[in-house]
Amino acid sequence: MTEKAPWSLQEFETRIRDMERFYHINHPYHVMMHEGALSKEQIRGWVANRFYYQVNIPLKDAAIMANCPDRDTRAQWVQRIIDHDGAPGEAGGIEAWLQLAEAVGLTREEVLSEEHVLPGVRFAVDAYVNFARRADWHEAASSSLTELFAPKIHQQRLDNWPAHYPWIDPKGLSYFQKRLSEARRDVEHGLRITLSWYKTREQQEKMIRILKFKLDILWTMADAMHMAYVHEMPPYFTVES
């Protein structure tokens, strides 16, 4: 049997970008968010659950660095951790997310306690961190490429939330503003690693499967929130407490 020819770099990148159709921007929870259809409780549920993603991103990036012997890559990758944790004495993305939480009417304490985090969200995020711990670092790096599609969803929130959700203090939206440029820079680096690492067609197809796994994580997080806050069917809703 003859092996399939590898995609050209251009074709490979097109295939990667084409995975946008599975991005959580198309999930009903995000569509409702974008259309202004979410209640205060539903917005709060999303912010509290997404906090678990926020705090785990630096653990995920530290795991990638721990597996990466290449100094130049680490020197760039470390910026992702600083973006979220903040440089010493400075606030980073996690702090910005806590400000978003306060702007939507949650307390810092309840968000930090993770009391609202649904099991499905926890399992999905943990799967991402565990993948980064175990996978080859190039593969873990390329799984971050859902960020290719993130600036659009961040921009939508900046554009639509003030009109749809006037009860949210606009100062709380600074996280989304900050991510626009950070995500573009991350993607540029992630794409460079990815396009030069996967050579054969089989490897390129593997990368697409890895990207799908990451898209599954984001979609599954939104599913868990949709069940709990739209259908009002959180885990054990049938069980009397």
Ligand X SMILES: O=C(O)c1cc(C(=O)O)c2c(n1)C(=O)C(=O)c1cc(C(=O)O)[nH]c1-2
Tokens of 120: 């499905």
**Binding footprint of ligand X, residue count (CB under 6 A):** 8
What residues from 153 to 182 belong to the interface with ligand X (CB under 6 A)?
153, 179
Task: Write down the least CB distance from residue 234 to ligand X, Å.
Answer: 22
Cα–Cα dist 123/127, whole Å: 6
**Which of residues 53 and 198 has its CB atom nearest to ligand X in the complex?**
53
**Which of residues 97 and 198 has its CB atom nearest to ligand X in the complex?**
97
- The answer to whether the beta carbons of residues 223 and 24 sit under 8 Å apart is no
Residues with Cβ within 8 Å of 36's Cβ and at least 6 positions away in sequence, in order, are: 160, 163, 164, 165
Q: Which of 129, 147, 204, 229 binds ligand X (CB under 6 A)?
A: 147
Task: Write down the least CB distance from residue 4 to ligand X, Å.
Answer: 29
Q: Which of 146, 194, 204, 220 binds ligand X (CB under 6 A)?
A: 146
Binding window for ligand X (CB under 6 A); candidates: 11-19, 37-45, 140-148, 220-228: 140-148
Cα–Cα dist 235/237, whole Å: 6
Task: Write down the least CB distance from residue 205 to ligand X, Å.
Answer: 21
Tokens of 66: 């721990």
In the complex, which residue's CB is closest to ligand X?
146
Does residue 47 interact with ligand X by CB under 6 A?
no
Instruction: Kindly compute the dihedral angle of the four CA atoms of residues 120, 78, 152, 188, in this order, to the nearest 10 degrees.
Output: -130
Q: Which of 42, 73, 142, 144 binds ligand X (CB under 6 A)?
A: 144
Cα 44 to Cα 51, 88, 205, 212: the distances in Å are 11, 29, 38, 27
Does residue 223 interact with ligand X by CB under 6 A?
no
Of the candidates 191, 236, 147, 143, the residue with the CA atom closest to the CA atom of residue 12: 191
Task: Write down the least CB distance from residue 43 to ligand X, Å.
Answer: 13
Q: Which of 150, 173, 193, 224 binds ligand X (CB under 6 A)?
A: 150
Instruction: Please report, as a single letter, which amino acid is at residue 77.
Output: W
Does residue 141 interact with ligand X by CB under 6 A?
no
Binding window for ligand X (CB under 6 A); candidates: 36-44, 112-120, 147-155, 199-207: 147-155
DSSP 64-99: HHHT---HHHHHHHHHHHHHHH-STTS--HHHHHHH
Does residue 142 interact with ligand X by CB under 6 A?
no
**Collapsing DSSP states into helix, strand and coil, what is residue 118?**
coil
Task: Write down the least CB distance from residue 206 to ligand X, Å.
Answer: 18
Interface residues with ligand X (CB under 6 A) are 57, 144, 146-147, 150, 153, 179, 218
